[in-house]
Amino acid sequence: MPASQSAKDFFRPLAVGAPTPLTEIPFRPSRAIHFFDPSNPKMAAKIPAMVGTVDVLLGNLEDAVKADNKVAAREGLVRIGQETEGLGGGGPTQLWTRINSLDSPWALDDLTTLVPAIGDRLDVVMVPKVQGAEDIHYVDRLLAQLEARAGLDRPILVHAILETARGVANVEEICGASPRMQGLSLGPADLAADRRMKTTRVGGGHPGYLVRQDPPIDELGVAQVEAARATHQQDLWHYTIARMVDACAMHGIYPYYGPFGDIADTVACEDQFRNAFLLGCVGTWSLHPKQIAIANRVFSPSVEDVAHARRVAAAMGDGTGAVMLDGKMEDDASLKQCLVMVELAEQLAA
Ligand code: GLV
Ligand code: MG
């Protein structure tokens, strides 16, 4: 039995008509993980009013925070964690942080400062540039010591950003590296650089990554002009998101899309988020308040989808066999798909 597979997994109970149970990590809505820079006084001042309007507020200490501001960001986050009513620790909005990467001079001080000061508020630590299980083991051990010293009675969870080629290659072992593992996000900017991809965009598609339709053929069998050929832009991130989703599902943790850097292009942002939702992601990052509304909408199942799912569940009775609804076949497997939708709607409404 692999180390990450418990006896409980091995003797998973037979469940007729139910989707695979997700996880021991309790579900908490996390459709939008809204990033802020705690060293920026203007951003910090807006945080109290955002509590209750977004599922997760994340104090970012890593990239996008200038090296000279690392200490100020850490201290700003401590202040916000201590002073903001309803933020973290079971409040209506979770408090997460993204610490600096483990190969930087700042990661150790990030954890040794934050856990004693706001460990009771901090729900999840996002670890960037995770390469393999060893990175998660390091953070896990360090958190265990700091939590014990601080007398905390609930574990701080860990979320890894998948943003190196090695991290992608090791994605399954990363997901199973600790019972603290809460989820994974895609880091398309760092990942593109690490893979030497030739895009300078932060997430999203690229007009150069396309497939071209065959030329139309006229009645004499002659190929028509180039201009008549349609092209279809492809998703640069499909492969990685699909790998993340499988690895997370296998280990019962949650997959997320990451940043969408073109803040002005809300249409493409929504499309990218929706692709991730359809593939199995439960949320995404928000880099600007207008992306929060997009994420909340996209990562909640639609009223129509939930109504359809409930109809199928009702028609399927004991969950076995097959029925025809609106000319379509439904059976045990499609019922499980529907129950995923109903379960998510209920979790979000709770
Ligand atoms: C996020 O951290 C990214 O690199 O895209
Ligand atoms: Mg990154």
For 201-215, write each residue's pLDDT tens digit: 999 999 999 999 887
Average pLDDT for 143-155: 94
Tell me: pLDDT of 3 over 50.
Answer: no
Tokens for 137, please give them: 């083991």
- DSSP states of 206-275 as a string? -TTSEEEPPPPB-TTS-B--GGG--EEE--TTHHHHHHHHHHHHHHT-EEE------TT-HHHHHHHHHH
Average pLDDT for 244-253: 96
Distance from Cα 340 to the centre of ligand 1, integer Å:
29
For 317-328, write each residue's pLDDT tens digit: 999 999 999 999
What local confidence, expressed as pLDDT, does residue 215 receive? 77
Distance from Cα 199 to the centre of ligand 2, integer Å:
15
Share of the chain above pLDDT 70, in %: 91
Ligand 1 site, residue 258, Cβ cutoff 6 A: yes
- Strands (E) across the chain are located at 32-36, 56-60, 94-98, 122-127, 157-162, 181-186, 210-212, 231-233, 254-256, 284-286, 322-325, 328-331
Among the atoms of ligand 1, which is closest to the Cα of residue 190? 4
Tell me: pLDDT of 5 over 80.
Answer: no
Distance from Cα 227 to the centre of ligand 1, integer Å:
37
Nearest CA to ligand 1 atom 3: 187
Cβ atoms of 340 and 19 closer than 8 Å: yes
Tell me: pLDDT of 6 over 60.
Answer: no
Confidence label for 1 from pLDDT (cuts 50, 70 and 90): very low
For 10-24, write each residue's pLDDT tens digit: 454 555 555 554 457
Tokens for 107, please give them: 């990661």
What local confidence, expressed as pLDDT, does residue 4 receive? 47
Query: What is the predicted ipTM?
Result: 0.99
Share of the chain above pLDDT 90, in %: 86
For 300-320, write each residue's pLDDT tens digit: 999 999 999 999 999 999 999
Average pLDDT for 73-84: 98
Ligand 1 site, residue 161, Cβ cutoff 6 A: yes
Confidence label for 218 from pLDDT (cuts 50, 70 and 90): confident
Tell me: pLDDT of 229 over 90.
Answer: no
What local confidence, expressed as pLDDT, does residue 172 receive? 97
Tell me: pLDDT of 50 over 60.
Answer: yes
Distance from Cα 79 to the centre of ligand 2, integer Å:
25
Q: What is the mean pLDDT of the chain?
A: 92
